[in-house]
Structure 1
Amino acid sequence: MAPCSARLDDGTGSIEVKVWVDSDSSEQPNPTKAKLVEGAYCRAWGKLKIFNDRRSVGATVIRPIEDMNEVSFHLLEATAVHLHFTRGPPGGARTAGANANGAAGQQQQKAAGGEYGGYDLSKYGPVAKKVFQYLREAPQSNEGLNQHEIAAKLGIDTADVAKGSDELLSAGLIYTTVDDQTWAILEAD
């Protein structure tokens, strides 16, 4: 088996996608199977992986898009996910029970995870907590803050900042903006 990799970009960011191809297979190539073309739309399914501090997708399936409705669907789905995490689930106002439980939940979070704006960071490492706190308090544009700037301001090695940010990325507390080393907090309100 040999890896075949490509860099995919959906307009919200780019990521390397690796798919393993059986090079020892004696099967003849299927002429009816569509081939991927550079610059064309494709769809990939796989698992997000981190190796040597680099994120990639280990694809199980990658195929060209034949129906442009799939592109529209992806853009709408990405928008829906973004809105869900920035404004909450659809349906507008929360119920009174949710608000009552929310106040108690915030007190519990503060007791468990310290003062991180209502976020429970008790299960994250000290560097992840420092990165999160800095992202919350530092003045920034919509582009967020770069890994090197955070490392310089906190006096921490950039590799440690990258590891701390990966913890936060995996938890969905921050997101990448202009590149894989620039982040902003995913605000819940």
Structure 2
Amino acid sequence: MGSHGYRCRSSPGESSFSPYEGKSKRSRILCMMPCTVSQLRSASEQKDSFFINGLEINQVSVVGIIRKYKPYVAYVVYTLDDMTGAPLDVKQWVDLEDASMNGYVIPPGSYIKVVGSLRSFQHQRSLVAFSIRRLEDLNEITSHMLEVVQAHLLNNSSSCSAVKNKYMTKENLSNANDLTAYGFTANQNQVFNLIKSCSLAEGISVQNLRTALKYMSLYDIRNSLQFLINEGHIFSTVDENHFKATY
């Protein structure tokens, strides 16, 4: 069925909706959605928004191998291939003229995980990366593909909205138990909740995290921060010691 004919019923008794009937009625994936390159290339597009199986996607994660890269002054473009379709360009903003960034570019042949947002310019799709990290264990490729299959099954279940409300909505990610179910440890969960609850423009500082989490060592806090950055859940703001949630 074409994307324009897609309908999803939230729960018994509720009216059905189309993803193109207005933003207030759209079903959106507000957290990170695992995808393949093929899915991103075939996603339907409507007014700068992209849809997979009728669901508007926000952030996505992709795993693949770098075939080549092209450096520019302010960013690097990687060609990412996950063998599900034609490779996809991934743009990562970085100042290559900064001496501290020497050796920052990841070489071809490396397997990476990218967290980012899909964009289209002059009919050419690319992924703007929030986070790129090299895989330490190739089992992560299998794990990612299983997550892609799980997300696909959840999105296409007959009770899709009920399932999405339980597993894939922004509100649910604020729940400690569900965060742990998503692979967060107890420490990562607590650090993320504090960062997410901070309303300051510059985000929360490491010092404030230490004050609030007196029972947690600085080492554990830093490890949790690194994990959350790598997975695309948070980002640094004014400096390397202030952080905000990405959603």
TM-score > 0.5, shorter chain as reference:
no
- Structure number with the higher strand fraction is 2
- Shorter-chain TM range is 0.3 to 0.5
**TM (normalized to structure 1)?**
0.44
TM-score by length of 2: 0.35
